[in-house]
Structure 1
Amino acid sequence: MRFKDVFSIIGPSMVGPSSSHTAGAVRIGRAARRIFGAFPEQAEIVFYGSFAETYRGHGTDLAVVGGLMDFATDDMRIRNSIELAEAAGMNLTFKTAQNVAYHPNTVLLKLKEADGREDIILGASIGGGNIEMLGINGFDVKFTMNYPVLLVFHKDTPGMVAHISRILDSGVVNIGYMDVDRKGRGGEALTVVETDEAVPQELIEHIRGLSNVHRVVFADLTTEEVS
């Protein structure tokens, strides 16, 4: 990854001690919360690599849970995030695991509601508070949350990407990046679109109404992170 300036290396305004182990972890938690779209009543948090070795000492557990509570990177409540989350009704489980294929600072979040709805979200903190989201519900996709992101869960059918692109174009929404993964030809698929601006709700509803679209998520952290 190429950093744009010194602040990309130092990281954002944050509760310390580390931009990678705290600020990045908060942003992963916030991204997961926005993708899930609700307060998770159960959260299983699995740390890999360096996170697994140091998460207690560096406060990475507090940081991820702070993100799940939708706290900003410099919110002092992060220091008490686990207590606050549990008091609010979030059932937390922490685990560690090893997988050499992942970035050293990787965390897997399994989020559930009482009705059984679940999202499994994988993210990595790559330095300076920057993150990469690496997977959602078994789909291998990659996006940064540095831009607004649209996630479209759909059946793998001809023309779906073109339909999504045309709808965004009709609202003068510029596509900066797109990634698609599928679980087999004609099976379930996920299209990820990073845009240069927020996607209006009417365009989201238009995409949601497309045949073979099962779920649409719009997640945007950018407006809250601009100083």
Structure 2
Amino acid sequence: MKYRSAFDIIGPVMIGPSSSHTAGAARIGRIARTLFEKQPNKAVISLYGSFAKTYKGHGTDLALVAGLLDFDTFDERIPNSLEIAEMVGMEVVFREEKAVPEHPNTVKINLSDDDSEIEIIGISIGGGTIEITEINSFKLKLSGDPAILVIHRDRYGIVSSVTTVLSQYKINIGHMEVSRKEKGEMAIMVIEVDQKIEDDVMNELKMLEDVKRVIRMVE
């Protein structure tokens, strides 16, 4: 893996004993919250590999829930996140899974409320660096860098339409991929960029034909 800075190795400013088990977990939880776009009523958190074996001792459970509460890695409320989740009415269920994952620090998070639900799978690589590898069974790679997710119908010209809008606003693309389950059905476009995506860009993207949702990932 290519590191962008020394902070990718030594980890971010954080609360907790481990950058991979605490800071990384908090980032995964926060991205899941961002993708859900609101506070969930229920979170079912399935832990795999090293996460399943050590999550209580390393505070992984506290960090994941803190992320779901939209707390940053250095938030002093992280040690009390389970109590805070209960106070705000978010039910949290932890499951220790026996399946052997591709990466030892793997978590699956299912979020839901009365209107919607989402499932994401994330891995904590080390030094606070993470990747989201699945969203609702769509295979992808989302690192947590500034990015947008475009949920759209799989139609001819949609990729060109999205990149044309970004080009008009002089937004440089660092990484881009499209994931689909079946030809012609729904797909997800992941676009990591070098700068913040402003509201006017978001609004223009949302107006494109066959685009259903656009989600901005903000660190």
Tell me whether the two structures share a fold, i.e. TM-score over 0.5. yes
Say which SS state the counterpart of residue 152 (structure 1) adopts. Answer: strand
Aligned CA distance change for structure 1 residues 5 and 213 (closer, same or farther; 3 Å): closer
- Work out whether residues 48 and 101 of structure 2, in 8 Å CA contact, stay in contact via their aligned partners in 1: no
5 Å matches for 1:56-67? 56-67=56-67
Q: Distance in 1 between matches of 2:18 and 2:11?
A: 9
| Equivalent residue number for residue 104 of structure 2 | 104
Say which SS state the counterpart of residue 77 (structure 2) adopts. Answer: helix
Q: Distance in 2 between matches of 1:47 and 1:190?
A: 25
| Equivalent residue number for residue 157 of structure 2 | 159
| Equivalent residue number for residue 120 of structure 2 | 121
| Equivalent residue number for residue 169 of structure 1 | 167
5 Å matches for 1:50-199? 50-115=50-115, 117-145=116-144, 147-199=145-197
Aligned-pair distance for 1:201?
1.3
Aligned-pair distance for 1:6?
3.8
Aligned residues: 219
Residue 211 (structure 1) aligned with residue 218 (structure 2): no
| 1:72 maps to amino acid | D
Aligned-pair distance for 1:98?
3.7
| 2:97 maps to amino acid | A
Q: Which moved more, 1:103-112 or 1:206-215?
A: 206-215
- Work out whether residues 146 and 192 of structure 2, in 8 Å CA contact, stay in contact via their aligned partners in 1: yes
Aligned CA distance change for structure 1 residues 142 and 98 (closer, same or farther; 3 Å): farther
Give me the identity figure in percent.
Answer: 47
- Output one character per residue of 1:23-76: Cα deviation in whole Å (capped at 9) or x when no partner: 000011111111111111111111111101111111100000011111111112
Q: Distance in 2 between matches of 1:141 and 1:127?
A: 19
Aligned-pair distance for 1:101?
4.4
Say which SS state the counterpart of residue 76 (structure 1) adopts. Answer: coil
- Output one character per residue of 1:114-159: Cα deviation in whole Å (capped at 9) or x when no partner: 22x01111111000011011111110000211x2111011111111
Q: Distance in 1 between matches of 2:152 and 2:29?
A: 25
Q: Distance in 2 between matches of 1:144 and 1:107?
A: 15
**TM-align CA RMSD:** 1.2
TM-score, reference length from structure 1: 0.93
5 Å matches for 1:1-12? 1-12=1-12
| 1:204 maps to amino acid | M
Residue 47 (structure 1) aligned with residue 47 (structure 2): yes
| 1:177 maps to amino acid | H
Q: Which moved more, 1:5-14 or 1:57-66?
A: 5-14
| Equivalent residue number for residue 225 of structure 1 | none
Runs of at least 5 residues in structure 1 that lack an aligned partner in the other structure: 222-227
| 2:130 maps to amino acid | I
- Work out whether residues 120 and 135 of structure 2, in 8 Å CA contact, stay in contact via their aligned partners in 1: yes
Q: Distance in 2 between matches of 1:101 and 1:25?
A: 16
Runs of at least 5 residues in structure 2 that lack an aligned partner in the other structure: none
Aligned CA distance change for structure 1 residues 133 and 171 (closer, same or farther; 3 Å): same
| 2:188 maps to amino acid | L
